[in-house]
Structure 1
């Protein structure tokens, strides 16, 4: 008997907009990206999550914002 569990995560970009501040590494402009992630289990979607991620437009690093 063989059991196969198929899990998949799909991310889709919803929008981009400039964010205030500058990159601490290179001083470039920061961009806020709204991303919707969708988890699937056996081809059935069971979790939708929308996140905002920050990236530098010059060095393309992902920036972490602490509250």
Structure 2
């Protein structure tokens, strides 16, 4: 007997905006990127989430905000 789970994770960029501040590593501009994530099981959508991520436009590092 064989049991196969077909799972898929899809990320889509919704928008890009210039964020205030500069990159602490290289001093480049920071971009705020709105990303929509979607998890699917056998082509049925299970989970949607929208998140905002911050990236440097020069060194392409992912920046983490601290509150």
TM-score (norm 2): 0.97
Where does structure 1 lack aligned partners over 5 or more consecutive residues?
none
Deviations 1:26-61, CA, capped at 9 Å, x for gaps: 000000000000000111101000000000001010
When the two structures are aligned, how many residues end up with a matched partner?
Answer: 67
Regions of 4+ moved over 2 Å: none
Q: Alignment RMSD, CA only?
A: 0.5
Q: 2:56 maps to what in 1?
A: 56
TM-score (norm 1): 0.97
Distance 1:12 1:66 in 2: 25
Where does structure 2 lack aligned partners over 5 or more consecutive residues?
none
